[in-house]
Amino acid sequence: MFIALQNAVASDRTILVLGDSLSAAHGLRPEQGWVALLIGRLRAQGYGYQVINASVSGETTTGGLARLPRELRLTQPGILILELGANDGLRGLPVNLTRQHLAEMIRLGKAAGAKVLLVGILIPPNYGPRYTRQFADIYPDLARRLHTALVPFLLKGVALDPHLMQEDGLHPNARGEPLVLNTVWPYLEPMLKKSTQGGRP
């Protein structure tokens, strides 16, 4: 289902997903994750896009920033979906550092000619309400300041429902993943262009 980076063809009809375990189908078969489901929806609706999932479980914004320049060079995407920060928050890393890394990744994506869709994350209140609030503010602040499209919260309607989450309480299960895609889709769809090739990627 996923296109290897070394085999990707540079195209403005390429979507690069740079994320962590929430986009890497952690604990599931790859085809059950929301990114794989996105591939199916794009094809079904006649969008001629290839999707490259460069998500890595456990990834922080530090690691994402280090990997992004190479992946942008290889894929030259028309759209960059940036879903990182959860692991920073779970580890209690400085909020300003996370914000700085995400801002730089947004700038790199735009400089490479990609439209950027920033995906917001909320974290459990492990480090107290002040840290949790400051972390949550990162995403809308960056979207506003850098004029970037924003998914307010990736796990909206999923995170607090045990029937939709894996036992770890952090990752959606196979029932929850389609709802995750439904959360992303209204923000992604306006960025897409219809295929002139009959929907073939």
- 18-57, pLDDT tens digit by residue? 999 999 999 999 999 999 999 999 999 999 999 999 999 9
Q: What is the pLDDT of residue 197?
A: 46
Q: What is the pLDDT of residue 195?
A: 62
- Residue 21 a catalytic site member: yes
- Residue 168 a catalytic site member: yes
Q: Whole-model pTM?
A: 0.91
> How far is the C-alpha of 65 from the C-alpha of 160, rounded, in Å?
30
> How far is the C-alpha of 196 from the C-alpha of 12, rounded, in Å?
13
Encode burial over 29-42: b for 16+ CB neighbours within 10 A, e otherwise: eeebbbbbbbbebb
Q: What is the pLDDT of residue 194?
A: 75
Q: What is the pLDDT of residue 198?
A: 40
Strands 50-53 and 79-83: unpaired
Domain boundaries, the chain: 5-191
Residue of 20, 23, 88, 171 marked active site: 171
What fold does the segment set 5-191 form as a domain?
Answer: Rossmann fold (3.40.50)
Q: What is the pLDDT of residue 100?
A: 98
> How far is the C-alpha of 172 from the C-alpha of 158, rounded, in Å?
7
Residue 4 one-letter amino acid: A
- Residue 55 a catalytic site member: no
Q: What is the pLDDT of residue 11?
A: 62
> How far is the C-alpha of 59 from the C-alpha of 200, rounded, in Å?
32
Residue of 20, 21, 23, 88 marked active site: 21
Low-confidence ranges of the chain (pLDDT < 70): 1-11, 195-201
